[in-house]
C-alpha cells in the first residue's frame, strides 16, 4: 500500500543548533501536497536536499521564535534570485500576529519596504487556530501549546494517517488531546534529561514519553534536542513512560506512514 504521508526531517535542532544541523523544519508530502512545518535558522540549505523548494505548496509556522521561522528570509531570496522558477507566489501561513513581526524583521533587509520585499514572492497569511487549514489533500488543525509566546501544535491528516507536531511546549493537556491516536507524534524534548526552573516552555524526554502514552499515539519521534545528551539516552528516558516505538529525529531522516 502506498504511503499516505511522508515526513522528512529538514532541521531538528533547538535555538542552539547541534553541530552540522539546522533548526526546526519538517517537510510533509502527500499525493497532492508538499508542506513545510516551520522553517528555522539554517534549514534552507538542508531543504535543497529534500525538495526543489519552489514546488512547495505552503510554509506553515508554529510560532514566531527565530529557530522556527527565520529562514523565510533566505527562502525569499532563493525564490527571487535562485535558478529554480515558481509559477505564482508561495503561501506562508503564520500564527495570529505573525505577519507584523515578519514584516518588521524584513524591513531590515528591504530598502523598498517590507511589503514589496515579501509580497513579491509570498502570499503572507495568518491562520485561525480555531479552524482547519486545507492545503490540497492535507488537512491541518491547530492547538495552543504551553510556551513563552503563543505557539500552536499542528496536526496534519490525510485519510487514516496523521502526524502531530508538538511545536514548542511544556507538559500540556491540550497537546495531548490534539495528538490523540495519531500515527506519529513528533514531539519536542528540548530539556533532554535536565530540568526547567520557573516558567515552563519545554519538555524533558521523559515528559515527551508521558504525553505520547497519554495520547495513545502509535509512534513517538523526539526532536528539538541539543547536543548535551546522547540520542540513546533520550530514547531510553522516553521509553520509561511510553511503551510504543520511540526514535529520534535527525536532519535527513525520512519516514512514511
Q: Which of 114-123, 204-213, 222-231 has the lowest mean pLDDT?
A: 114-123
Residue 44 CB burial class (10 angstroms; 0-12, 13-18, ≥19) = buried
The grid coordinates of residue 67 equal 529557530
What was the pLDDT predicted at 129? 98
Question: What number is the average pLDDT over the span 203-227?
Answer: 98
Q: Count CB neighbours of 113 within 10 A.
A: 12
Could you read off the pLDDT of 129-154 as tens digits, one per residue? 999 999 999 999 999 999 999 999 99
Checking phi first, is residue 211 left (phi over 0); if not, alpha (psi -120 to 50) or beta? alpha
Q: Which residues contact 2 (CB under 8 A, 6 or more apart)?
A: none
**CA angle 257-223-182, nearest 5°?**
35
pLDDT band at 83 (very low <50, low <70, confident <90, very high): confident
Residue 86 has pLDDT above 90, yes or no: no
Averaged pLDDT of the chain: 95
Q: Measured in whole angstroms, how far is the alpha carbon of residue 181 from the centre of its chain?
A: 19
Give the pairing of strands 161-165 and 245-248: unpaired
Could you read off the pLDDT of 16-26 as tens digits, one per residue? 999 999 999 99
Q: Which of 21-30, 62-71, 85-94, 211-220 has the lowest mean pLDDT?
A: 85-94
pTM above 0.85, yes or no: yes
d(CA 14, CA 194): 15
Question: What number is the average pLDDT over the span 162-169?
Answer: 98
Structural domain boundaries in the chain? 6-256
Instruction: Give the fold, CATH level 3, of 6-256.
Output: Metallo-beta-lactamase; Chain A (3.60.15)
Amino acid at each position: 500500500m502506498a504511503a499516505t504521508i511522508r515526513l522528512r526531517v529538514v532541521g531538528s535542532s533547538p535555538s542552539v543548533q547541534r553541530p552540522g544541523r539546522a533548526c526546526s523544519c519538517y517537510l510533509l508530502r502527500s499525493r497532492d501536497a508538499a508542506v513545510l512545518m516551520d522553517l528555522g535558522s539554517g534549514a534552507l540549505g538542508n531543504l535543497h536536499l529534500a525538495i526543489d523548494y519552489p514546488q512547495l505548496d505552503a510554509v506553515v509556522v508554529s510560532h514566531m521564535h527565530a529557530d522556527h521561522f527565520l529562514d523565510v528570509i533566505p527562502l525569499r531570496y532563493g525564490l527571487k534570485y535562485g535558478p529554480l522558477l515558481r509559477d505564482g507566489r508561495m503561501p506562508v501561513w503564520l500564527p495570529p500576529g505573525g505577519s507584523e513581526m515578519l514584516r518588521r524583521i524584513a524591513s531590515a533587509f528591504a530598502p523598498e519596504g517590507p511589503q514589496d520585499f515579501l509580497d513579491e514572492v509570498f502570499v503572507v497569511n495568518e491562520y485561525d487556530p480555531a479552524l482547519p487549514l486545507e492545503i490540497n489533500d492535507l488537512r491541518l488543525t491547530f492547538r495552543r501549546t504551553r510556551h513563552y509566546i503563543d505557539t500552536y501544535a499542528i496536526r496534519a491528516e490525510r485519510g487514516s494517517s496523521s502526524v502531530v507536531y508538538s511545536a514548542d511546549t511544556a507538559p500540556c493537556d491540550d497537546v495531548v488531546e490534539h495528538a490523540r491516536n495519531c500515527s506519529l507524534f513528533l514531539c519536542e524534548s528540548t530539556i533532554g534529561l535536565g530540568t526547567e526552573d520557573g516558567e515552563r516552555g519545554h519538555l524533558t524526554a521523559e515528559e515527551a514519553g508521558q504525553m505520547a502514552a497519554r495520547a495513545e499515539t502509535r509512534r513517538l519521534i523526539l526532536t528539538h534536542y541539543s547536543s548535551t545528551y546522547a540520542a540513546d539516552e533520550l530514547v531510553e528516558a522516553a521509553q520509561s513512560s511510553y511503551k510504543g516505538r520511540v526514535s529520534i529525529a535527525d536532519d535527513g531522516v525520512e519516514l512514511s506512514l
